[in-house]
Amino acid sequence: MASRPPLRTASASSSAYSTDSPTAAAGPPGGAPQSITSLLNNPLPSASAGSYWLPWPPPAALPEAPPPPSHPPCEVSRADFAPYLARVADPFARFADVRLHATAELALAASDDGAPAAASPSSGLAACLREVPALFFKEDFALEEGATFEAACPLAEPALQERLGQHLDVVEAHLVQEIARRSESFYEAQGRLRGLDGEIVAAVGRIRELREVVRVLTGDLVGDAQQVQELNATRGNLVALQEKLTIILYVSQALAALKLLVLAADCAGALDVIDDLQNLIDTDELAGLYCFRHIRDQLGTSLDSVNSILSAEFVRAAVPDGKTVDAMVLSTVKRKTSTPLNGTEHEVNVDEEDGFILRDRLLPLIICLLRTDKVPAVLRMYRDTLITVMKASIKSTVAEMLPVLISKPIDSDSVTGDRAADSDAGGQSLANKLRSLSSEGFVQLLSAIFSIVQVHLQQAAEVKKIVQWIMRNLDGNISPDDTNPVVQHGGSVDLSQEKDYDVTSRVSNTVTRTPTKLPLFQGKTNDMSSINSIKNIRADVLRESTEAVFAACDAAHGRWAKLLGVRAALHPKLRLQEFLIIYNITEEFIAATEKVGGRLGYNIRGILQQQSKQFVEYQHSVRMAKIKAVLDQEMWIAVDVPEEFQAIVLSLSSTDFPVNGMEMPSNDNNSKLSEDGVSTSQESAHSTENNVENSNGTSTTSNENKVESTSQTENSVAGHVRPVSQTIVLGGVGYHMVNCGLILLKMLSEYVDISKCLPSLSFEVVQRVVEILKHFNTRTCQLVLGAGAMQVSGLKSITSKHLALASQIISFIHSLIPDIRRVLFLKIPEVRKHLLMSELDRVTQDYKVHRDEIHTKLVQIMRERLLANLRKLPQIVESWNGPDDNDSQPSLFAKAVTKEVTYLHRILSQILLEVDLQAIFRQVVQIFHSHITEAFSKLEVSSPQAKNRLCRDVQHILVCIRKLPAQNFSSEPVRNYGLLDEFLAEKFGTKVDE
């Protein structure tokens, strides 16, 4: 059985209730005749029935009652039905409302028509609802659903089809009855519609007659007035046509004039014409004119041409031309070859009149570019052109300068092996040519490039200044602080206005002479969007002008860094003064360009710092190799101390030690550069190093010859004799020196000079000083205490004199370290001093321990000699017991012991300090007292001759002991009183006075 659309119960019952209405068949006024089908399909009741459509909600399925209990309860109350009543309360309330509403409608219909009440509830579709189950009237009734099909068609029922057919028959019968009841109303409504059609036809006829009357009246009464109106309209059209023709003529003439203005490079006039034509286009004055359909493209082409002309003119005026660059190169080439390295001036001053001329040239160009909103784009093109021109200028400068500088004679003292090899190679490449330059020639090349770069940067800075002035003085009453590029872009822009009144008056006159102002900013000061647009344009222009100058500085930094990089292998091998000149000119170049550009150049600073570190590292490696060779060839013989070395000590220990860098060489071309910065007279100290150093580690002359040649070289400089001294004085104490000590002192002064000249590398310099001090102390200990000098220097033995000289050197360096530390720490930050202080303290302690070990070694040597003589004492004592022993002199033992200790005292007193002598001989005296007393106590002396001989020996030894410098040895008033004195007093009842 096919499923049918569900019927709404409310509609059926409503139709049943409105059947008896006498006006039920009447349709709405003005309606068309309707068929029975449309009537039956209308779900709404007729308007005259007095009833309205009530939406009937779909019947809800009543909840199933719970199954009855198998055993009925004894008592039943209303509370037992409370759950069921709660579930059926809502459906029951709706049912009651429907019944009440239906009753009210029936009563109303009866009162209006005077007819009896509606049919009994069993009539109409209401009876159908009772006969047919409510399931079939649901809106969502569909047999394809399983639950619906199971409820409507139970499978267990055999007469299912007959039953369903009965339901359809019942519904159909009741529908036919309802239609029959409403037939009279239908026919009545159809009659009314036909009457309305007749009335409409009559109304149309009357309208046609009225129109004919109106036409006749119009022709007779208002014909002339209408003709006047038409003539006025024709006149207006002709006037509009004349205006259009005038516009066409103006546009044609303007286009022709625009071409001539573009060809004549009159950018301001061309922009005025373009603005006028663009205004006509924007106001739709040319709308519909087919002849001007391509005018937008023509204006765009002309505007592009104007922008190209303005861009080219701006770049031509803002960038220095090649003539200026060539003039600078030629002036640099014509410099005297004897120009001192540190006497080059790099200050480039811009003529004030040239600045005014540049402003007059740039002002109209910038104004025109502002009108086309092309200033940022042109500034970007200007930046690229400036970079290209600057690179080309530097390249041409190098090409022009190299032949002149290479042809100059090179100082043989300043040419290293690598540079000489490059020079011999013929300079086949630009890099080889740059490497073949001497340091002086390279500095002159850098100086020329510096001047070239400053010419470009000064003009770039002037251009930026002009652009900023124009942007600050635009019409629009906006404060220049609103678009300050320093705040917006982080750049450091110099907005200083030297002679501001003159500049303002000159540029104001230029603005007055300019025929066009800035229409872009006129009449819009109250428009916030226009103000924001002005601010944005200003910000872009200021940013681009600043970026152009910075980009030029960055390009110059890149070229300068490449030149330094080509000679990266040579710069560490230069002397300090030569490297310092390159370092200073690079620092001056960086400072000058950063001042103009407004930003830091990290790239070139990194390269300069890297080469400075390489210089320090190379200088340190050279000095380490030199000190190693000097120590290996050292013969440990005292040498005279020239005056220059004493000056080094005085400068290091002085409280007003210069800390602002070493003195630069004199501008006198005849004066030679010194290798260190303490004194130019220290150049003579090179002879000492050259005499004691041999790169192959072998000695070509004896150490004595080296010392002699050193003294001769130092004492004979420039034809006069320089004073020398036997000792070097530090803190009021004189120290004897050897060659290695003097060379180490000079190296330390050179490290101090490097630290002063390169303060950023003071930390690395202190580390290198610590390293060389450690090596010197360690190697000295190996050579002297470890007797290594016997293998490397050819010494036959290590004597007490060698030990004393080593002690002097170690004591001198130990006393000099505090002054070295004070000077080197002047440029080191406080946070990094602690680590270096601890390292220097350890080095100082190592030197002190080394000195004490040398003193201990001297005492040990004396002790060994005493023990060797004591081993011979029993044989000597055997000869004392003879009857023929009448010798009144001390024994050979006493003479040998006193001779050796006297010799040691004489040698050490000539070299060591008094404090060191007392410390050493205090231990020697103690050893003599203890060992000799013990040995004499064990002797068996029986004869009077032997006793006398023993007494003389004891007295002779005590007399020698009294002369040794051992103060505060005992509490006795007698000098160096000890066990041997007690032995003499106890054994022989006598004593030895002072």
pLDDT at 86: 87
What is the torsion angle, in degrees rounded to the nearest 10, for the CA atoms of residue 937, residue 942, residue 948 and residue 952? -20
Contact residues for 898 (Cβ-Cβ < 8 A; gap 6+): 890, 956, 957, 960
Alpha carbon distance 242, 811 (integer Å)? 114
| Same-domain pairing of 732 and 791 | yes
Nearest Cα to Cα of residue 121 among 2, 45, 13? 13
Domain stops at, among 257, 287, 310: 310
The Cα 306–Cα 303 span in angstroms is 5
User: pLDDT tens digits for 21-42?
Assistant: 333 333 444 444 444 444 444 4
Are 910 and 824 members of one domain? no
Which is nearest to 475 in space by CA: 371, 392, 576, 575? Answer: 371
| Contact yes or no for 788/781 (Cβ under 8 A) | no
Length of the chain measured in residues = 994
Residues of the chain with pLDDT under 70: 1-74, 105, 108-125, 155-157, 321-351, 408-428, 474-531, 655-723, 881-887, 967-972, 993-994
Contact 659/756 with Cβ under 8 angstroms? yes
| 787 part of a folded domain | yes
Say if CB 755 and CB 765 are below 8 A apart: yes
Say if residue 562 is in the same domain as residue 455.
yes
Sorted by sequence, the CB contacts under 8 Å of residue 760 that are 6+ apart come out as 609, 612
- 634 phi and psi angles, rounded to 5 deg: -70, 130
Q: Are 793 and 783 in contact (CB under 8 A)?
A: yes
Q: Are residues 553 and 575 in the same domain?
A: yes
Residue 132 has phi, psi (to 5 degrees) of -95, 135
Of 25, 84, 76, 24, which Cα lies nearest the Cα of 50?
A: 24
**Do 932 and 803 share a domain, yes or no?**
no
Phi/psi of residue 293, each to 5°? -70, -25
Same domain, 591 and 618: no
Question: Rounded to the nearest 5°, which phi and psi values hold at 728?
Answer: -110, 130
Task: Please give the pLDDT value at position 748.
Answer: 92
Element (H, E) at 642: strand 641-642
Residue 81, domain member (yes or no):
no
The domain boundary, picked from 254, 275, 310, lies at 310
* Residue 660 neighbours by CB distance under 10 Å: 7
Distance from C-alpha of 877 to C-alpha of 952, rounded to nearest angstrom:
13
* Residue 235: per-residue pLDDT: 94
Inside any domain, residue 502: no
Which distant-in-sequence residues (6+ apart) come within 8 Å of 435 by Cβ?
Answer: 418, 419, 422, 566, 567, 569, 570
| Cβ-contact 805, 638 below 8 angstroms | yes
Do 270 and 331 share a structural domain?
no
Q: Round to whole Å and give the CA distance between 597 and 334.
A: 30
Is residue 570 a part of any domain in this protein?
Answer: yes
Same domain, 249 and 359: no
- The verdict on 847 and 816 lying in the same domain is yes
Residue with the two structure tokens 């007279």 = 681
Listed residues 579, 599, 619: the one ending a domain: 599
Assess if residue 32 is contained within a domain. Answer: no
Within a domain: 300: yes
Q: Comparing C-alpha atoms, which of 463, 467, 472, 464 is closest to residue 535?
A: 472
Domain count for the chain: 4
CB burial readout 549-584, b (16+ within 10 A) else e? bbbbbbbbbebbbebbebbeebbbbbbbbbbbbbbb
Range of the domain at 557: 319-408+434-475+531-599
* Residue 677 placed within a domain: no
Residue 127: inside a domain: no
Q: What is the CA radius of gyration of the chain?
A: 62
* Residue carrying structure tokens 């023509």: 298
What's the angle, vertex CA 731, arms to CA 729 and CA 732, rounded to 5? 65
Both 911 and 973 in one domain: the answer is yes
CATH code of the domain containing 634: 1.10.357
Place of tokens 């220095």: 320
Q: Are residues 389 and 301 in the same domain?
A: no
Shared domain for 891 and 786, answered yes or no, is: no
Please state, as a whole number, how many other Cβ atoms lie within 10 Å of the Cβ of residue 364.
Answer: 19
